Amino acid sequence: MKESRQSLLAVICTLAVSLVFCLVFGQMTKPKIAKPAEGALFAAGTYEAESPGYTGASNPIKVKVTVSDNKIENIEYTIDGETPTVGGMAVPALAEKVLAVQSPNIDTVTNATVSSKGFLTAVSDALRQAGADPEALVPQEAETASKDIEKTADIVVAGAGGAGMTAAITAAQNGKKVIILEKGLFPGGNSSYATGGMNAAETHYQAEKGIEDSVELFYEDTMKGGHDINDPELVRTLAENSSAAIDWLDSIDAPLSDVGLAGGASVYRQHRPVNANGDILPVGTFLVEHLSKTCEDLGIEIVYSAKVDEILMDNGKAVGLHATDSDGNNITVHADAVIIATGGFGSNPDLIVKYRPDLKGYVSTNAPTITGDAIAFLEAVGADFRDLEQIQIHPTVVQTDGSLISESLRGDGAILLNKNGVRFTNENGTRDVVSAAVNEQPDRYAWLVTDEKVAVKSEVIKKYVSKGYMIKCDTVADLAKLIGVEEEVIQETLDTWHTACETGEDTEFGRANPDKNKTYVAELPLYAVQISPGIHHCMGGVVINTNAEVIDTKGNVIPGLYAAGEVTGGVHGGNRLGGNAVTDFVVFGRIAGENASANSK
């Protein structure tokens, strides 16, 4: 009894000491709040704070904010965890804006919401330490007087996405002075959102892996996937130049060395980047980072927040671009040749409904800047358009925010289950077919399910898990509970799929050559995400020829005017195959850059 009382007393003493330690330590680590002098907003000094950014609390955004009595004087920041071409460019712009308006109560940067919130929260915390109420700091009117800015280049490019930067780099490699006008605050556009890979045929990476492919098969797959309404000459150009495009990416230190399978492809031809550990990376951010660095290395000037609204013409020839920036400045760039690479219109609901009323209300996977501005200024110079009603919906989209779940997961073996826990389609079918199948399911949604064998080597999946899109299920019972069905139902579905993988024959839905050596959704834990279709790609756009020259409504070339990427029509027909968008912007971006160079002084 005595020993029990002594033990109880020891526990109480330990808890008491711990409580005192926590209280004291908490007081020691809690930032002190300074007291401003009478009539001052801040207590002058430098204050430090941090807040989670894109990569979370493990690598937060850190700030040092220096204030005088009544002014925010300087902001230093550490943003090692932010994507260089997203948060890495948004934070400097936000810091400049906070200093200009003397308040952290400003809008976040489009496409960089998480980084923006992390930075602004850290700044607010630092100002709070300085004795201010950050919420009470009303943004001041920044003194800006609009002005006319004139620039001259050999070639001017509208859009700093994949196609625009590829074209600009190609021209610069030919010794041309290039200026890019970009609507957003950083490069990338929709290219940054690509998570899968790049289709290419007869590449050295395929040969090294023993994969047999051909330009002709790539051509046939793309025509079939596009329902044969594609422009055959553009498709053949795409296929014939795809291997050289992979070599060109090698040359700028952007290798796509892993080869996977994408929907609608007959063989493994989707080329993907990997890190030093061999983990598969999202292709979009990988390429945008390397393209933007190459632009910087080559001295290519990129003017951000510059929304192009007019193509300058002289006697029927394109001779420059006009844009306005966020401060109301007029920017005119005179050039010998013009390349349009502004993307599609997937984030413009009005245009979506104009061309496809049946898609009203669909969530979009597109970057917010992709609003089809080029349609108006290309129409103004007489350019022709095709297939504008051909708007692709992607089958696997998170409905809360339009985040895309990469098609490469299905290529690597993932399966789709409906709300009843059963497969319902060939997961590697073309996007239009799989999307239609999802829409036919109860409540028009499905669960995409993969396993640890894929997840452990995929930075893409790790990102989905960290963002809360993809749920980790330690057991089949956990997956059943998540979906809302009996465990036996899921187990039966998995067993049937395992049999298909063992035999190499999917007797239910005809999925070609299911391969147990790749994955057959068997290695625990499992990972699942609820998806439904969303607007993804605009196959239609301005008409170009195989030289990437823009064609007018009479069928003639508009001299000096080129286009590449999603702003164009004809390459993808009625349905784009996964992996062909990257091929499109690299192949035709290079062609536009080469021909614009050849036709500039």
CA dist 472 → 277, 300, 482 (Å): 22, 44, 10
The pLDDT value recorded for residue 457 is: 87
> How far is residue 57's CA from residue 278's CA, in Å, rounded to a whole number?
25
How large is the average pLDDT for residues 196-220? 97
How large is the average pLDDT for residues 557-567? 98
pLDDT digits (tens, 9 = 90+) for 463-496: 899 889 999 999 999 999 999 999 999 999 999 9
Ranges 9-18, 177-186, 450-459, 592-601: which has the least confidence: 9-18
The pLDDT value recorded for residue 385 is: 98
The pLDDT value recorded for residue 28 is: 42
**Strand-strand pairing, 56-67 and 45-53:** antiparallel
Domains parsed from the chain with CATH numbers:
45-136 (3.90.1010.20), 151-390+539-598 (3.50.50.60), 393-534 (3.90.700.10)
**Quick one: tokens of 178?**
């290039």
pLDDT of residue 19 exceeding 90, the answer is: no
Residue 142: which pLDDT band, with cuts at 50, 70 and 90? low
Active-site residue numbers? Answer: 431
Residue 54: which pLDDT band, with cuts at 50, 70 and 90? confident
What is the phi/psi pair of residue 575, to 5°? -170, 125
CA torsion through residues 282, 287, 290, 293, sign: negative
CB atoms closer than 10 angstroms to residue 25: 10
How large is the average pLDDT for residues 523-551? 97
More confident residue, 497 or 143: 497
> How far is residue 81's CA from residue 55's CA, in Å, rounded to a whole number?
6
Ranges 152-156, 401-405, 525-529: which has the least confidence: 401-405
Run of H or E residues at 374: helix 373-379
How large is the average pLDDT for residues 32-59? 91
Long-range contacts of 204-207 (CB under 8 A, 24+ apart): 204/243, 204/246, 204/247, 205/246, 205/256, 205/257, 205/258, 205/259, 205/271, 206/259, 206/268, 206/269
The pLDDT value recorded for residue 204 is: 98
How large is the average pLDDT for residues 143-172? 94
> How far is residue 109's CA from residue 250's CA, in Å, rounded to a whole number?
32
The pLDDT value recorded for residue 89 is: 87
Nearest Cα residue to 300 out of 188, 183, 182, 176: 176
Residue 326: which pLDDT band, with cuts at 50, 70 and 90? confident
pLDDT of residue 441 exceeding 70, the answer is: yes
End-to-end CA distance of the chain: 100
pLDDT of residue 283 exceeding 60, the answer is: yes
Tell how many helices (H) and how many strands (E) occur in the chain.
18, 24
CA dist 60 → 49, 78, 95 (Å): 10, 8, 16
Secondary structure (3-state) at 339: strand
Nearest Cα residue to 72 out of 15, 14, 141, 123: 123
CB distance 245 to 424 below 8 Å: no
Please work out, in degrees rounded to the nearest 5, the angle formed at the alpha carbon of residue 190 by the alpha carbons of 598 and 348: 110
> How far is residue 507's CA from residue 39's CA, in Å, rounded to a whole number?
79
pLDDT digits (tens, 9 = 90+) for 360-383: 999 999 999 999 999 999 999 999
Nearest Cα residue to 356 out of 402, 393, 385: 393
Secondary structure (3-state) at 558: strand
pLDDT of residue 32 exceeding 90, the answer is: no
Largest Cα–Cα separation, the chain? 105
pLDDT of residue 12 exceeding 60, the answer is: no
How large is the average pLDDT for residues 14-29? 46
114 Ramachandran zone, left/alpha/beta (phi>0; psi -120 to 50): alpha
Residue 111: which pLDDT band, with cuts at 50, 70 and 90? confident
Residue that is written with structure tokens 């047999």 in the block: 212
CA dist 113 → 116, 125, 348, 479 (Å): 5, 18, 19, 31
pLDDT digits (tens, 9 = 90+) for 334-360: 999 999 999 999 999 999 999 999 999
pLDDT of residue 270 exceeding 50, the answer is: yes
CA dist 498 → 418, 492, 501, 517, 574 (Å): 18, 10, 5, 11, 34
Ranges 25-34, 475-484, 497-506: which has the least confidence: 25-34
> How far is residue 76's CA from residue 126's CA, in Å, rounded to a whole number?
11
Residue that is written with structure tokens 């010794």 in the block: 175
The pLDDT value recorded for residue 11 is: 47
Look up residue 14 and give its amino acid.
Answer: T
pLDDT of residue 583 exceeding 60, the answer is: yes
The pLDDT value recorded for residue 601 is: 79
CB distance 283 to 198 below 8 Å: yes
The pLDDT value recorded for residue 27 is: 44
CB distance 364 to 187 below 8 Å: no
pLDDT digits (tens, 9 = 90+) for 288-319: 999 999 999 999 999 999 999 999 999 999 99
Residue 188: which pLDDT band, with cuts at 50, 70 and 90? very high
> How far is residue 492's CA from residue 504's CA, in Å, rounded to a whole number?
18
415 Ramachandran zone, left/alpha/beta (phi>0; psi -120 to 50): beta
Nearest Cα residue to 198 out of 182, 180, 218, 223: 218
Run of H or E residues at 180: strand 178-181
Of 278-287, 321-330, 404-413, 475-484, give the range with the top mean pLDDT.
475-484
The pLDDT value recorded for residue 227 is: 96
pLDDT digits (tens, 9 = 90+) for 401-439: 999 999 889 988 999 999 999 999 999 999 999 999 999
Average pLDDT of the chain, as a whole number: 92
